[in-house]
Amino acid sequence: MTALPLCSISVDVDTLRFYHDIHGLPSPSPHQADAIYTHAMPRILRMFRNLGIRGTFFIIGEDAHVPAHQEILHQIIEEGHEIANHTYHHPYRLTALSPAQMEEEIAQAEEILQPFLKEGQRIVGFRSPGYNTTPELLQILRDRGYLYDSSVFPSSPYYLAKASVMGIMQLLGRPSRALLGSPKVLRAPYHPYKPAGNPYVPAKSPKEDDLWQLPIAVVPGLQLPLIGTYLILYPELLLKAMLQWALKIYPFFNLELHAIDFFDAYNDPGASALIPHQHDLRVSLTRKLARMEDSFTQIQKSHICLPLAEVLSSMPQLAPPPKS
């Protein structure tokens, strides 16, 4: 068994059209090569390779039809990373769909992504667009044999900021295509757990082979987000202190990034319309890469980084027992 504590660094590979959707802007075509794959992803893979990190990449099935994207997907697998399911079309309102429609999103993504895996491998992990989940969605994952979901993000500052932005956009007549989701997420545990009927509550008597929920890291107590965007935006000394505190608390540290965190909006193609709407896109690529490398190096001093699927064998030791 791998020595503890553990970390997993996962990347949501959302192409640029979905950021246009968030901000109510016209979306690029899904059938052409996207700069997230052609420019940002090679930078991520290079940094992971240089630092000896193997991670998990949540892939949107529809993007896997593009030949330029397929080259990156093959590289992900060849370099020892995990590919996980991020739905087929990435509908931000996934949890508002019928159970049959939700399952179709998951099944279609499986069908297109499975051939990229090596013999004997299968898709075992899922992350929902916009971090939203429901009992119905989790049951679909169970029925399809998934081992984990990593959609819970219990950050109150993030949730309130998202609600405010969506409200302002509605008033401006440019409604976001995103979905806010349930505030119950703010009471979810920080540690891995097997969810009950309520997806944000641990089951009191979980089944041994039941689905794991792997929440995305926040600063313990403060619920401040610790995802890629904020690794870029927080003041440097504050970031180092928050990471140090979180790493002491978490026996398993689940760091989530987005591929756009490695994007150069001023020189890479396709994001000029997004710059006025996203503060992180105004940060230079040099600063982004330095922040990411410094953060990963800090994490690796105390935690071993593995793909999410490989962390599962240590889950009983990582998760405290549910309260009776």
What ranges make up the beta strands (E) of 26-134?
A: 56-59, 82-85, 125-126
Best CA proximity match to 94, nearest among 56, 132, 64: 132
CB–CB of 220/242 below 8 Å? no
| pLDDT for 324 | 41
The mean-pLDDT minimum among 32-41, 61-70, 173-182 falls in: 173-182
**Mean residue pLDDT across the chain:** 92
In this prediction, residue 286 has a pLDDT band, given cuts at 50, 70 and 90, of very high
CA 5 to chain centre: 20
The structure tokens listed for 55 are: 């991670």
Q: Which domains does the chain have, with CATH numbers?
A: 6-318 (3.20.20.370)
d(CA 127, CA 151): 5
Please return the burial class of 29, using the count of CB atoms within 10 Å of its CB with bins 0-12, 13-18 and 19+: exposed
| pLDDT for 320 | 64
**Tens of pLDDT along 79-88?**
999 999 999 9
- For residue 149, the surrounding DSSP H or E stretch is strand 148-149
- Return the sign of the alpha-carbon dihedral for residues 273, 277, 278, 281: positive
pLDDT at 15 over 80: yes
pLDDT at 272 over 80: yes
The mean-pLDDT minimum among 44-48, 63-67, 121-125, 320-324 falls in: 320-324
CB–CB of 95/117 below 8 Å? no
Compute the average pLDDT of residues 183-199.
93
